A and B are shown apart, each in its own frame.
Chain A
Amino acid sequence: MTTEIVRLPGKDLSTEEMILNLGPQHPSTHGVLRVILSLDGEVITRAEPDVGYLHRGTEKLAENRTYPQMLVISDRWDYLSAMSNNLVWCLAVENLMQIQVPDRAHYLRVIMVELNRIASHLVFFGTYGIDIGAYTPFLYAFREREKILDLFEEVSGARMTYNYIRIGGVMADLPSDWIAKCLSFLEWLKPRFQEYDTLLTENPIFKDRTQGIGILDKEKAISYGITGPNLRGSDMAFDIRKEEPYSCYNKLKFNIPTGKNGDCWDRYWVRVQEMKESVAIIEQAIAGLPQGDCNAKVPRIIRPPVGESYAQIEAPRGALGIYLVSDGADKPYRVHVRPPSFINLAVLQDILVGMKVADVIAILGSVDIVLGEVDR
């Protein structure tokens, strides 16, 4: 729904564009993002995202850390889904070292990553409500997320930076009553999705604000390298869990929800549906959880062979990948993170033009970035 700018003839009506710096200190840029907007009234004529305020030089740090030490830093990329970061780092190192992870560890990893996906999407759900102006969903989402964080705290001792998934397996097996707690949480969570639908999904004002806004068509999305719910919102069923199954995803049944139009509402809807799919995945994984060891035999000093590998997983925000080059030392030679948020964010400069200031927030929120991952 772009707005045409009508210019009236006449000398007296000379107008000037206003440059608005949205951020880096702004309540709804989700961190320290800065978008330089050129405005004609409230209509955007040019948008340039400016990132890097949270740059910590992860890739450089990696060259001076051992492989297990790097796991700690991986928690800090996408701090809303640290389990996924742990997982992709471990997969990359395990690929390189050809470690066979026991089945139980695979299942535990899937359970944790999917729980984390729910937690991450819940944060999206809540903050997107705030972006649109509805404050109440946020508190609801955080109430649910709190319970997930409690579950994580029990298995890993941490609430944000878990460090749970380790090279060769997981940190420790589950506490004795954890599975019962997790199942009762899932039972409790299921009816909440209906609450969300009545509160936000089907709200006419919410639909008015998000439907037909920020349309990202399939070709553009693919060209920009968009992945995750943003790509699936544009009617493209691309999910690495199905394309190149890692861990034990090939043994689990789940659907890939896709949107139709690629607008903000579709991206939002896909995420809400994904939470429901994740619940189903966790239930299957718990039901199929094999007995046995949850750690492979890993050398005390991790020293992968010379070579390179690329591992990617479906993180809550899209395809998160690690490109790892090893020279045979105990520290990586080169680490490159494929950050989904960073790559998804690049599309903003294209789809923001012609929108209104209020839409900027709606679109930015629907792309769902985490600045920790954008800037690394």
Chain B
Amino acid sequence: MGNTSPFESTVMENTLLLAAIQGRFPTVHEIPYPTAHAGAPAHEPKPYRDSTLYVSVPPDLWSGVAQFLKNEEKLSFDFLTFVTAVDYNKVTAGEPARMDMVYHLYSLKYKHKCVIKVSLPRDNGRVDSVASLWHAADWQEREVYDMFGIQFRNHPNLKRILMWEGFPGWPMRKDYLHIPDRYDD
């Protein structure tokens, strides 16, 4: 250990991190801190998000960005904390219906972290697998596939992991309808 982050304080760190990524991939942008929507009553609590950097990456760039994040010396995101997906099926004015892949990255070397979100269409979402970069993604991407039906390109062994083969539907999607079976009695 002993390595200190090349970025100073947390706030600076986030901007520098973002600058480092955007220097290579200009279309990548930070997801703004959530704000209360216009008509919200005053007593309602203010929206909250962790102080971590949240970055949105277009799906077609993801594989390149992932390689950059892992291999670039001053970033060295060597630890993939977790991979998951969130299904946003509610269509509001600001937010279109979408499926977000969420990658939580951490650098054991510099101890900085960032969250990558890759927005996919809700139907037939496809994204590049990062299992070859971080082995941790292998099973977790399988879990995401199992639960949300998102396809991962170049995944070594993409099949259901928690549910059984032939399970109908993708259980974690918001529009999943349970079909009664023999376990329901």
Residues of A at the B interface (CB closer than 8 Å) are 51-52, 55, 57, 59-60, 95-98, 220, 222-225, 236-238, 243, 304-310, 312, 319, 321, 323, 325, 327-328, 333-334, 336, 338, 342-343, 345-347, 350, 375-376
Contacts and interface: CB of A to CB of B under 8 A. Distances in A.
Q: Of residues A51, A220, A336, A345, which shows the largest number of chain B Cβ atoms within 10 Å of its Cβ?
A: A336
B171 A321 contact: no
B49 interface: yes
A318 B139 CA distance: 17
B16 interface: no
Interface in B54-94: 78-82, 84, 86-87, 90
Nearest to B157: A48
A309 B49 contact: yes
Q: Of residues B1, B45, B90, B160, which shows the largest number of chain A Cβ atoms within 10 Å of its Cβ?
A: B45
B122 interface: no
A55 B164 CA distance: 10
Contacts, number: 102
Contacts of A307: 34, 47-49
Given A95-B48, A223-B134, A310-B104, 7 more contacts: A52-B163, A223-B78, A321-B81, A336-B102, A338-B104, A346-B136, A346-B139
A336 B46 contact: no
16 contacts: A51-B161, A51-B162, A98-B45, A223-B134, A223-B136, A225-B134, A304-B45, A305-B45, A307-B49, A312-B81, A336-B102, A338-B82, A343-B136, A343-B140, A350-B135, A376-B162
A224 B161 CA distance: 17
Q: Of residues A220, A223, A309, which shows the largest number of chain B Cβ atoms within 10 Å of its Cβ?
A: A223
Contacts of A236: 108
B164 A52 contact: yes
Interface residues of B, number: 40
Given A52-B162, A350-B135, A57 B140 contact: no
Contacts of A305: 44-48
Contacts of B47: 305-307
The 4 residue pairs across chains A and B that have the minimum distance between CB atoms: A225-B136, A52-B162, A307-B48, A305-B45
Contacts of A52: 160-164
Contacts of B87: 334
A60 B163 CA distance: 13
Q: Of residues B140, B147, B171, which shows the largest number of chain A Cβ atoms within 10 Å of its Cβ?
A: B140
Interface of B: 1, 34, 36, 44-50, 52, 78-82, 84, 86-87, 90, 102, 104, 108, 111, 115, 134-136, 138-140, 143, 147, 160-164, 171-172
Given A60-B172, A325-B86, A308 B50 contact: yes
B182 to A, nearest CB: 17
A245 to B, nearest CB: 13
A210 B35 CA distance: 54
A246 to B, nearest CB: 13
Contacts of A343: 82, 136, 139-140
A93 B106 CA distance: 22
B44 A225 contact: no
A222 B163 contact: no
Q: Of residues A52, A224, A306, A327, which shows the largest number of chain B Cβ atoms within 10 Å of its Cβ?
A: A306
Contacts of A325: 86
B10 to A, nearest CB: 12
A310 B48 contact: no
A79 to B, nearest CB: 18
B136 A96 contact: no
Contacts of B80: 225
